[in-house]
Each structure stands twice: as structure tokens, then as C-alpha cells.
Amino acid sequence: MSNRASSSNGVQVGDTAPDFTLPNQAGEPVRLGDYIGKKAVVLYFYPKDNTGGCTAEACAFRDSYEVFKDAGAEVIGVSSDSTESHEQFAAKNHLPFILLSDSGGAIRKLYKVPTTLGLLPGRVTYVIDRQGVVRHIFSSQMQFEQHVKEALKTLQSL
């Protein structure tokens, strides 16, 4: 599936997004590859459910979800929280999009999402086009809403 070997720096703009399957908040398997050819994907990795920054980011994605859908994209959040935690987080914050449980952190490692201060799981958003190519990467632990703005700006330029 990859048209370019991913570098030791992890997934870069221009790379084919590595495929994976993880359980969603209902415990059902979701495969990234199933979206290829159908929709663009905004794949965002975040540190933890029910923390201030992660809740602000998730709610910002929620508030723009219709705009993402209109742009032909699906939003998918990934953290190492359990499916039960995701289910509760999604219900509490009325999140209309998919949350995936990367309990062992294997997908975070596959994408080489950096940690902050070597401890905190990083907050990184990948915009993947319909062909499965990464078009934009935005990494910022503290600029929660900026992840949404960057993703929308990229989708609108595709």
C-alpha cells in the first residue's frame, strides 16, 4: 500500500498513511483502509479522554463536524484509552465521530507520534486525502483548536 518507505521520523507529508484496524467506542473494528477511495480522513491522536485540553479539542472537532462532512472527510480520534472510556467520553461530550482505542500504543508507535517532555502522549493531527496520502501534519500539545483550523484549511485546499 505504501508508495514510499516511511522514514525514521515517522509518517511524513507525501507518505501513504499506514493502514491499521482498531476498536471504536462501541468495540467494533474500524480499518483506516476502508475509507481510502471514499473519503478524506482527519486522523487525530490525543493524550487522554476527559482532560481539559483533550475535551476542548474533541469539542472543537465536534462543533466543526458538519463542515468536515461537507468537505468529504471523516474525523477519527485515537488515544490509548479503553473503548469504555471512549464511549463515556463521546456520550458526555456529544461527539458524533469515531474514537479508536489504541490500548497498547502500537498505532501511535507506527506513526511515530512524539511525546511531550518524554512523558505525555503527543497531540498530532494527520489529514489524509481520498487516495490515502498524508497531505498535512499538525503537532501541538497546547493549541487545541488550531488542530481543527489546520485540518479544515488543508481539506479546503485539496
Task: Identify the structural domains of the chain with CATH numbers, from first to last.
Answer: 21-157 (3.40.30.10)
Q: Which residues belong to the active site?
A: 54
User: Cα separation of 152 and 101, whole Å?
Assistant: 24
pLDDT for residue 4? 43
Residues lower than pLDDT 70 in the chain: 1-8
Which cell numbers hold the place of 6? Answer: 516511511
pLDDT for residue 72? 96
Q: How many CA atoms lie within 13 A of 151 on its CB side?
A: 32
Q: Which of 85, 83, 80 is nearest to 46 (CA)?
A: 80
pLDDT digits (tens, 9 = 90+) for 27-58: 999 999 999 999 999 999 999 999 999 999 99
Q: Which of 80, 63, 150, 59 is nearest to 122 (CA)?
A: 80
User: Cα separation of 101 and 83, whole Å?
Assistant: 6
